Amino acid sequence: MNFRTALLFSTSILGRTLAHSQDIPDSTNLVDNGGFEQIQGKLKKLGGIELAKGWKSPTGKNADLYSETVAGSPASAPKNDHGEQTALSGQNYAGLLWWSYMAKEPRSYIQAKLKHPLIKGERYCVRFYTTLGDLSKYGSDQLGVYLSKMIVKKDDPVSLTYEAQIPTLKTKVYDDMFSWQGVCGVFDAKGDEQYILIGNFTAQEKVNTVKVKRARGETRVQQTNAYYYIDDVSVFPIKTPAECKCEQLDKAESEFIFSKKTTVNKTLKPAQQLDMSVIYFKRFNKQVDGAMDGLLNELIALMKDNPDIRIRLVGHTDAIEADRVRMRPDLTDLDKERAESVMAAFTEAGIDAARITVAGQKASSPADPGEDDVALAKNRRVEIEIEQ
């Protein structure tokens, strides 16, 4: 039995309820409209962040606003000009150009006035959620927040060079384009800070980047930048640092992928080889992970060599993913989306789509009824069935 472990942690931690800004009472969260849900006006194009109540662009490069209520526009959601992403909550989210190759494109930022100034000596949790745009060719670090006493307003599309206070560690590279990750930190107020700015405040030469593969199923050309979607921004008072948590989504989705073998059994007939094969997934992910590429290529070869075989792809989720749908509606069809992702891999390789059907069974048919990490990993899967 072989499996790759990126991070292990107890089932009790996995079962905890995620805390998003929506769970923070309006009277506690100092960021008004932190989920960008309140829009004033009609969103038609990119650069529309100022249609979101309370939000501004502090420089001449306007940040973007996306909405699932808009169709056929570069600012639509989930699919838009920078990728495809469902809002973490609600229907809207913002988008920022974080970094571009050779600084060819100006960065963008978002800014909002807090409901009231921060109190000197008080401790606050500052948090937002982010995910990399599917068309970004790079992932970046330096995801930061700057809290200011004065409003920032620059007429030109310039890069801001403030010393971001949140998070303390800004060298983590965020390169996940499939699910939302938390960025947070504790801030000890000096007093009278009343504006929150989110963006990249670091000099170009100090920004660390990594190249990322284009998402499977995405046919559009990658952009030579690092572009991030932003949702659920919050600032709220806390008593202890332990109250400021943001890593649950990040850790949960970094679960290992179960794999009992890396190749198909060549002693079986082609149809049997396909019928006994399973593609496994990281938690919350619908995209086929690179760890499955070897097996997937063998299955594609089998389909090419046996043009009479027709298959049915059946997607499944684990119990934690099923439970998380309450707070993340974007996971509702994760089972079927996994099957569709595998189908896309087959069709991109030249397999006729007419030979493939897809279905989803949620978490209703676990491969392993256990509750440990390995059992749950077995259940995040797409099974292949031979169509008669």
Q: Tokens 């909550």 sit at which residue?
A: 89
Distance CA(89)–CA(212), nearest Å, equals 26
Q: 170 near 202, Cβ under 8 Å?
A: yes
Distance CA(246)–CA(353), nearest Å, equals 41
Q: How confident is the model at residue 279 (pLDDT cuts 50, 70, 90)?
A: very high
Which has more pLDDT, 249 or 283?
283
* pLDDT of amino acid 293: 87
Hey, how many other C-beta atoms are within 10 angstroms of the C-beta on 132?
Answer: 26
CA dihedral 99→103→106→110, nearest 10 degrees, is 30
| Strands 310-315 and 381-387, bridge-based pairing | antiparallel
Q: What CATH number has the domain spanning 253-387?
A: 3.30.1330.60
* pLDDT of amino acid 8: 25
| Residue 48 DSSP SS3 | coil
How far, in Å, are 196, 241, 323 from residue 151 at the CA level? 9, 28, 41
* pLDDT of amino acid 89: 78
* pLDDT of amino acid 341: 94
Q: What is the pLDDT of residues 249-258, one digit of tens each?
A: 444 444 567 7
Whole-model pTM?
0.64
Hey, how many other C-beta atoms are within 10 angstroms of the C-beta on 210?
Answer: 12
Q: What is the pLDDT of residues 360-381, one digit of tens each?
A: 999 999 999 988 778 888 999 9
How far, in Å, are 291, 325, 361 from residue 279 at the CA level? 10, 22, 15
Look over the chain and give the mean of its residue pLDDT values, rounded to a whole number.
Answer: 86
| Beta carbons within 8 Å of 76's beta carbon, 6+ residues apart | 66, 67, 68, 70
- Hey, where are the domains in the chain? 20-244, 253-387
Hey, how many other C-beta atoms are within 10 angstroms of the C-beta on 303?
Answer: 22
Counting residues of the chain whose pLDDT is more than 90, the rounded percentage is 66
Counting residues of the chain whose pLDDT is more than 70, the rounded percentage is 88
Q: What CATH number has the domain spanning 20-244?
A: 2.60.120.260
Backbone angles phi, psi at 204, to 5 degrees: -50, -45
Six-digit token string for 270: 């082609």
H helices present in 214-311, as ranges:
248-253, 270-275, 293-305
| Residue 206 DSSP SS3 | helix
Q: Where are the beta strands (DSSP E) in 257-355?
A: 257-259, 278-280, 310-315
Q: What is the pLDDT of residues 103-152, one digit of tens each?
A: 999 999 999 999 999 999 999 999 999 999 999 999 999 999 999 999 99
Mean pLDDT of 275-303: 90
* pLDDT of amino acid 265: 78
* pLDDT of amino acid 3: 27
Q: What is the pLDDT of residues 6-59, one digit of tens each?
A: 222 222 222 223 334 445 666 689 999 999 999 999 999 999 999 999 999 999
